[in-house]
Structure 1
């Protein structure tokens, strides 16, 4: 897949379309309030709850938005399929990665996650204002890449041994082992899954681009294997997917429904240590 993350130091502002994805899982209004008080000039705002998810659906806590809704989002953002796109949040958060994965799924292969957060972007001297842009509506048609998407059926087949994919749980080790579950009603993990806490991807609050992350991931799963990542609701699995892609893993899928979707089906099996 190649390069996923990009540093603000390497970006020419005018070469990219900008997407602001700042959000807080504790306060859903925080992100848009930050955006309205200042953002990268010409950046549009994509909201985790209303743009990148469909909370009316039952497939987990942050279900995948329908394709029709995503197409309208892309078009009102004014995107073209070959645009260079820079997606940012507060840095070290999962929200830019969620948007980036959706862009990749839709065929926008020139999209990147900015390593630094908004404050560092501003300090780097990029143009910032509080104006709401009005991009020209496009007629873009996505090129959906179903090979990076894992529907529930695929995960069920993986659990039953019908695929070669390896399940990788991005939650904390305590949640993975079923020792604690602060959010979902049933503790545990999807049977057969391995664990790599997404917090291990960070250093000093930002995603760590050092070789040490690659080494750590390779101790859990071989880069030659197909990997299906999940977390609690599909959000924090996105940066793990992105970091795997950055470090040479070529066959990766994201189970957007994740553990919250898995346990929503009566009788779904879980494992605990």
Structure 2
């Protein structure tokens, strides 16, 4: 089963035991807005997890703007949200799947095999006339035990080791102007990691905001061998996760997230920075 599920799939299973629906709505710069929107209206049965309070660790000197949480802390968060190892988890947001993909990646990284992202998000669900509610969900805690999938994560030293080599393909998931270093509205340094190619994460979606099918996802990464080691990053490790998901859907077999991403990379004095376009190597 694909990781992207249609509205009809969830609609048919809203009352099914063992399903945990997670509202991941969050707006950068408006950190309280997601929870406020959840309180006003959400999919029946959904619990809310906050990008910065629940799905990230506190910001430090390194680790980027949304550092990975401690594994024990994250396991406790999932348990308190009612997510057990056998739960079927469906995540949604209203940000094109970026925040929901963060939850998808975190759960998959901790060994959970049944986690999905709702196609098109909450607004499309509501506009389709599907059920919503303001009633708060009574959560029954579960037991979540992590089995860390270390092969899914790249650290800063892994990225350094690839520079100037053919060991891995680096994919920058930010908008093209940020990748080229022409603008930088968030981080203190503009540019990209040398050698990285640009694949804007929103190109995973079609004109109406639905996820493109696997064959179209594969076309976005044309020229990259499906067995190549790929390291994906963005500004802080959040909007890279839709690209990780898209690569997985397209059949790529060795995809890692550089969780700290650009904001972590520039926190180390001496890490090189590139601007402009890169000449892409074809596999």
- Report the TM-score when normalising by structure 2: 0.89
Match of 2:65 among 53, 61, 65: 61
Indicate yes or no: 2:24 matched with 1:21.
yes
Indicate yes or no: 2:260 matched with 1:257.
yes
Indicate yes or no: 2:81 matched with 1:77.
yes
3-state DSSP class of the match of 1:225? coil
Which deviates the most, 113-122 or 17-26? 113-122
Which deviates the most, 261-270 or 4-13? 4-13
- Report the TM-score when normalising by structure 1: 0.92
How many residue pairs were aligned? 270
Q: Residue 136 of structure 1 corresponds to which residue in structure 2?
A: 140
Indicate yes or no: 2:235 matched with 1:232.
yes
Which deviates the most, 234-243 or 120-129? 120-129
The correspondence of residues 158-237 of structure 1 with structure 2, limited to 5 A, is: 158-159=162-163, 161=165, 164-210=167-213, 211-219=215-223, 221-237=224-240
Q: Residue 4 of structure 1 corresponds to which residue in structure 2?
A: 3
After the TM superposition, which segments of 4 or more aligned residues of structure 1 sit over 4 Å from their partners? 123-126
The correspondence of residues 151-162 of structure 1 with structure 2, limited to 5 A, is: 151-159=155-163, 161=165
Q: Following the alignment from structure 2 to structure 1, what is the Cα–Cα distance between the partners of residues 114 and 153?
A: 18
The correspondence of residues 111-130 of structure 1 with structure 2, limited to 5 A, is: 111-124=115-128, 126-130=130-134
Q: Could you tell me which runs of 5 or more consecutive residues in structure 1 were left unpaired when the two chains were aligned.
A: none
Q: Following the alignment from structure 1 to structure 2, what is the Cα–Cα distance between the partners of residues 205 and 95?
A: 18
RMSD: 1.8
3-state DSSP class of the match of 2:154? coil
Indicate yes or no: 2:100 matched with 1:96.
yes
Q: Following the alignment from structure 1 to structure 2, what is the Cα–Cα distance between the partners of residues 267 and 200?
A: 32
Q: Following the alignment from structure 1 to structure 2, what is the Cα–Cα distance between the partners of residues 205 and 235?
A: 22
3-state DSSP class of the match of 2:272? coil
Shift in Å, 1:142: 1.2
Q: Following the alignment from structure 1 to structure 2, what is the Cα–Cα distance between the partners of residues 218 and 233?
A: 25
The answer on whether the counterparts of 1:91 and 1:116 sit within 8 Å (CA) in structure 2 is no
Q: Residue 32 of structure 1 corresponds to which residue in structure 2?
A: 35
Shift in Å, 1:125: 5.2
The answer on whether the counterparts of 2:76 and 2:144 sit within 8 Å (CA) in structure 1 is no
